[in-house]
A and B are shown apart, each in its own frame.
Chain A
Amino acid sequence: MKRLIALLMAAVLALGLTACGEKKEPTAEQITGRYGLSNAWDSLMPYNSPSGSNYTRIICDKIYDRLAYVHADGTLDPRGATSWESADDGMAVIFHLDEKAAFHDGTPVTAQHWADTITLMTDPNCPALGRSVFSVLAGTDENGVALEGEQLGAEAVDDHTLKLTFKRPTTPEDFLLDKNREFYVLPTHLMEGVDPAQIMELDLWDAPVGSGPCKFVEEIPGSQLVLEINKDYQLGCPDFDQLVITVMDKSNLLPSLISGDLDYYAFGGNVSVEDAETARASGLEVVEGEVPNTFYELMLNCETIPSAEVRRAIDLALDKEALCLQSTQGLGEPTATDVTPGTEYTCSLTWERDVDQARTLLEQGGYDGRTYTLACTSNRSGLASLMQQELAEVGMNVTIETVDSAALFSGMADGKYDMAIASHTPGALPLWFTESRLSEGNNIFHIADLEPYTYYIEQISAASGWETRQVLLDKLQELLADQRPFIPLWFGRTLHVQSPTVDNIDYPSSSFSNENIWAWKMKEA
C-alpha cells in the first residue's frame, strides 16, 4: 500500500511539474501588472475572431494599434493617428499617422501598412471573420468584400497619411465612434508573398507582432496571457514591465482586487451595488459612471407576435421603473427609445406604464391567450419573473426559459423564442443599435418587411447635417414606437471599483473596448 501511495504521489508530482518545466523565469526586478478577465478571448488575430466579442477586442487593443482612442463620452484622442480631417466633400477622411509608431519588431508603421491591412482583409480569398466592418468603405460590397474592378477606399497618400473613402458622407467622428474598435493595423510586411487564403494559417498569429502598447510573450489559450510593455509605444508606457492577464470566474474578480492579487479587472472594474458596499468596506474607492454603458431591450419575434398592437401592449404592460430598479439598483433610467441619452441626438418619446391601455391593445390585436416563451440568461431570471408577473396582470401568458447566450440568440434567430432579454453597450451615434439590428443580414426580430426601417436608416446615414439627421431620427423612432419590433427597457450606468495599486486608469472608456494602459502608473506603496 505504501508503495502504491508513493508511486501515485511521484507520478502526480512528476507529471504536475511538467506544468512549470519549460517556462522561462522572469527577471527578478520585473514589475508585473495583474489584470483579470471573466471570459476568455478567442483569437489573437483580430480579424479571425469567431465571437468578435469585447473580450477579444480588449486583448487585441493591447497588442495592436488603432487609429484613435475613444472616451466613454464620445470624445476622441489621437492614438495611431495624431489628427484627422474630412475630405472630398465629406466622402473621405484623411488620417495623419503618428510618425513615431512602430511594430514590435522595430519596423515603422506607415500608411501603407494600414492600406495593405484593409486590402488584405477585404480580399475575397481571405477568410477574414467579421469583415462587414469594412463595408462602409468605397469599393466593397455589403459584406465588406472588395469589388473587382473598383477602387478600394483605403489609400496611402504618403508614408504617414492614410485616406479612407466611404460610400456615403461620413464625418471622422462618426467613423471613429462606430468603427475605431474594429480597425487595427497588421504587420503586413511579415505577410508579403503569402496567399490571402492562407493568411490565417500563419505562425505569426501564435506569437503576434503588433504595434500596440504591449508585446506578446506567451499564452495559455483561453486562460492566461503574458504581455511585455512596449516601452517604445508612441503615447508612452506604464511604469510596470509586464502585464499578466488571467481568466477567472467573475465571482473572484473583486476578492482578488481586494486581496491585492489583481491590479485591475475588465471592464472598467464594474461592480454591482451590493458588491460596491463590500468594496468600500474593504477600503476601495467606488466611483459612479457618468455615461450610460448598458442598454437593455426585450427582443420580440414579430413572426410569432405579428400584431403591432400586441407588441405595444407588452411595452405598456411592463413596469420598466421596477425592472430597471431591480437590475441597476438605481443606476439606470427607463427609456422609450434606443437613442443614447447624453449624446447630441435626442428622442422626445416618453414611456409610462398603462395596464388598462395594454389590455385594450391586446384585445384589438386579437391576442388569443396563447403562451409566449421568454428566454433569458440565468443572471436575468429575476427580471424575467418580474416581466412574467407584469404581463400576467394584463392577461398575457408567458413561460420562462433560462438558457445561455448562444442558445438565446440561436433561439431568437430561428424563431424558437417569442421574446428574449438582451443587453448591449450603447453608442453615441443615432443608428448604433438599429442599423445592425434592422438589416437583412441580421433580422433577429423576424420583421416581415424591413423596407420602412431601412428607408430611414439609409436616409439618416446619408444625411450630412445634424438637424436633418435629427428630423429623420425622430421619424424612425416614431415608426419604431408604432411597430415595436423590440422594446427598449432602460439605459444603465455602472460603478467602477478603483484599483488600489494603479493610478490614471480611464475606467469608463473600457466600454468602447479600449484602455489607456500607456498612462497607467503604479501607486507608491
Chain B
Amino acid sequence: MGRYLRRRLLTAIPVFFGITILVFCMLNLAQGSILDLMGEGSGATDADRAALAASLGLDLPLPQRYLMWLGDLLRGDLGVSYANGKPVAGLIAQRVGPSLLLTGTGVVLAVAIALPLGVLAAWKPRSGWDKAASALSLISFGVPGFFLCLAGIFLFSVTLGWLPANGMYAAGRFSGVADLIRHLILPAGVVCLSSVGELVKQTRAACLEALGEDYIRTARAKGLTDGAVMVRHAFRGALIPVLTTILSHIPHILGGSVVVEQIFGWPGMGSLLFSGISGRDYTVVMGVTVVIALTVLLTNLLLDLVYGLADPRVRYGKE
C-alpha cells in the first residue's frame, strides 16, 4: 500500500508540471493580453503599455516567464494579480470558503437526493420512482446551467419574491446564518440540479448491474428481504462507480461553479477564474489552475484508496 502510494505520488508530479506548462502556454499564446485591455478604455499610449509590460514582466521571453513563475511556485508564492497587484494566494484563500459552501452544499444535496432515488429506481423499475429519476436526469443533463440560474431567479426572486437574486449576504457582510442560507438556496439548488442527474443515473445503473450478480441470488436464497438485499448487498456492490462519480465532484467543489457564481455574483473561485480569464490576469488563472490540478490529482489518489474500503476485493497489488 505504501509503495503503491509512493508510486502514484511520483507519477502525479510530472502530470502536475505538464498541466502547468500546458495552461501557461495556452494562456500566453492566446490572442490579447492585459496590455490590449489597457488600450480599450483608457486611450493608453505605447509608453503606458510598455511601462505595464515591464512591471509585470510581460516583456520577457515566454520560457523565462514560466521558469520565474515556477520558481516562485516552488517557494510557495503564487505571484500577484496583474489586475490589482494583490497576492494570488490571498485572493484564492478569500474565495475558497464561499466556493466550498456553495458547491459543497449543492453536491451534498445532490448526493442526498441521488443515492436513495437511484436505488429506488433500480429496485422498482418502471415505477413512479424510476420515472422521477429519469425525469430528473433529463432536466439535469438537458438544461444548461445558465438557463437554470435565470429560470430560478425569474421564478423564486422576480415572480415569487421568496429568495434573493444575487450575492452572499444582504448587507454585504455576514449578518446571521439565516441570511446566508437564504442567499445560498438558489445557487446551491442550481448546482444540485446540475449534478444530480449524473449521480442518479450512475446509482441506478450500478445497482441494476449489481442486482444481476450471483451474490445477490445467494442473498435472496438465504431468505433476506428485498430491502435488505438492495441496501446491504446490491448497493454495496454498486458503490465503486457511484463513489467515483461522487468523488469526481471534489475538484468541482473546490474550483467552484463558474457559471453559477458569475450569474449570482457569488464571491467564489469560479467567478475569480472567470474574471481572471476575461481580464487576462494570467497569474490568477495559473493560481486557480494549480489549486484545481492538485485537487484533481489528490482526488484520484483518494478514489483509489476509497475503492479498497468500499470493495474488499480491491487490493493494491504487488507487480
Please name the residue on chain B nearest to A135 by beta carbon. B45
Q: Of A215-223, A321-329, A455-463, A502-510, which binds chain B?
A: A215-223
- Known contacts A30-B171, A42-B84; A51 and B157 CB within 8 A of each other: no
- Asked if B312 is at the interface (CB within 8 A of a chain A CB), the reply is no
- Asked if B64 is at the interface (CB within 8 A of a chain A CB), the reply is no
- For chain B, residues 155 to 201, give those with C-beta under 8 angstroms from any C-beta of chain A: 157-158, 161, 164-175, 180
B267 touches A220 (CB 8 A): yes
Q: What's the least CB distance linking B280 to chain A, in Å?
A: 5
B40 touches A16 (CB 8 A): no
A223 touches B100 (CB 8 A): no
B171 touches A252 (CB 8 A): no
Expressed in whole angstroms, the Cα–Cα distance for A258 and B303 within the complex equals 46
Please name the residue on chain A nearest to B101 by beta carbon. A16
Expressed in whole angstroms, the Cα–Cα distance for A13 and B104 within the complex equals 8
The A interface is mostly helix, strand or loop, or mixed, namely: mixed
Q: What's the least CB distance linking B78 to chain A, in Å?
A: 14
B158 touches A221 (CB 8 A): no
A51 touches B83 (CB 8 A): yes
Please name the residue on chain B nearest to A52 by beta carbon. B42
Contacts of A8 in B (CB 8 A): 108, 111
A19 touches B97 (CB 8 A): yes
- Known contacts A251-B150, A409-B39; A132 and B48 CB within 8 A of each other: yes
- Known contacts A53-B40, A261-B164, A406-B280; A17 and B31 CB within 8 A of each other: no
- For chain A, residues 436 to 462, give those with C-beta under 8 angstroms from any C-beta of chain B: 436, 439-442, 444
B168 touches A19 (CB 8 A): yes
Partner of A132, one of B34, B44, B262, B306: B44
Q: What's the least CB distance linking B310 to chain A, in Å?
A: 8
B46-62 to A contact mask, C-beta < 8 Å, 1/0: 11100110010000000
- Asked if B24 is at the interface (CB within 8 A of a chain A CB), the reply is no
Expressed in whole angstroms, the Cα–Cα distance for A405 and B279 within the complex equals 9
Q: What's the least CB distance linking B56 to chain A, in Å?
A: 8
- Known contacts A51-B41, A143-B47, A259-B165; A252 and B263 CB within 8 A of each other: yes
- Asked if B316 is at the interface (CB within 8 A of a chain A CB), the reply is no
B281-297 to A contact mask, C-beta < 8 Å, 1/0: 00000000000000000
A25 touches B83 (CB 8 A): no
- Asked if A514 is at the interface (CB within 8 A of a chain B CB), the reply is no
A242-268 to B contact mask, C-beta < 8 Å, 1/0: 101011110110011011111000000
A255 touches B158 (CB 8 A): yes
Q: What's the least CB distance linking A109 to chain B, in Å?
A: 25
Please name the residue on chain A nearest to B262 by beta carbon. A249
B267 touches A223 (CB 8 A): yes
Expressed in whole angstroms, the Cα–Cα distance for A13 and B48 within the complex equals 46
- Known contacts A248-B265, A409-B39; A256 and B46 CB within 8 A of each other: no
A404 touches B86 (CB 8 A): no
B252-278 to A contact mask, C-beta < 8 Å, 1/0: 010000000011110100011001001
Contacts of A127 in B (CB 8 A): 51, 55
Contacts of A52 in B (CB 8 A): 38, 41-44
Contacts of B275 in A (CB 8 A): 40, 222-223, 247
Contacts of B46 in A (CB 8 A): 440-442
Q: What's the least CB distance linking A292 to chain B, in Å?
A: 18
B47 touches A441 (CB 8 A): yes
A221 touches B45 (CB 8 A): no
A23 touches B173 (CB 8 A): yes
A409 touches B271 (CB 8 A): no
- Asked if B33 is at the interface (CB within 8 A of a chain A CB), the reply is yes
B100 touches A15 (CB 8 A): yes
B100 touches A410 (CB 8 A): no
- Asked if B91 is at the interface (CB within 8 A of a chain A CB), the reply is yes
Partner of B153, one of A9, A32, A252, A436: A252
- Known contacts A12-B101, A252-B263; A221 and B86 CB within 8 A of each other: yes
- Known contacts A53-B41, A226-B172, A411-B32; A248 and B157 CB within 8 A of each other: no
Q: Looking at chain A, what size class is its interface with the partner chain?
A: 35 or more
Please name the residue on chain B nearest to A413 by beta carbon. B36
Q: What's the least CB distance linking B177 to chain A, in Å?
A: 8
- Asked if A24 is at the interface (CB within 8 A of a chain B CB), the reply is yes
A1-16 to B contact mask, C-beta < 8 Å, 1/0: 1001100110111011
A200 touches B167 (CB 8 A): no
- Known contacts A42-B83, A48-B85, A259-B157; A252 and B39 CB within 8 A of each other: no
A9, A11, A129, A226: most-surrounded residue (chain B CB, <10 A): A129
A129 touches B32 (CB 8 A): no
Q: What's the least CB distance linking B315 to chain A, in Å?
A: 20
A19 touches B166 (CB 8 A): no
- Asked if B82 is at the interface (CB within 8 A of a chain A CB), the reply is yes
B172 touches A32 (CB 8 A): yes
Contacts of A410 in B (CB 8 A): 31-33, 35-36
Partner of A406, one of B36, B175, B180: B36
Which 7 A-B pairs rank lowest in CB-CB distance, beginning with the nearest?
A52-B42, A16-B101, A248-B265, A406-B32, A19-B97, A12-B104, A441-B45
Complex A-B: 19 CB contacts under 8 Å: A16-B101, A18-B97, A26-B175, A39-B278, A43-B85, A218-B173, A220-B94, A221-B94, A222-B271, A222-B275, A223-B265, A246-B167, A255-B157, A256-B153, A259-B161, A410-B31, A410-B33, A410-B36, A440-B46
Residues of chain A touching chain B, judged by Cβ–Cβ distance below 8 Å, are: 1, 4-5, 8-9, 11-13, 15-21, 23-26, 30, 32, 34, 36, 39-40, 42-44, 48-54, 127, 129-132, 142-143, 200, 205-206, 218, 220-224, 226, 242, 244, 246-249, 251-252, 255-256, 258-262, 282, 403-411, 413, 416, 436, 439-442, 444
Residues of chain B touching chain A, judged by Cβ–Cβ distance below 8 Å, are: 30-48, 51-52, 55, 81-86, 91, 94-98, 100-102, 104-105, 108, 111-112, 146, 149-150, 153-154, 157-158, 161, 164-175, 180, 239, 253, 262-265, 267, 271-272, 275, 278-280, 306
Q: A50-B82, A223-B265 are in contact. List 17 more A-B contacts (CB 8 A).
A: A12-B105, A12-B108, A20-B97, A54-B41, A129-B48, A244-B167, A246-B172, A255-B153, A259-B158, A282-B158, A404-B278, A405-B36, A407-B30, A407-B31, A409-B39, A413-B39, A440-B46
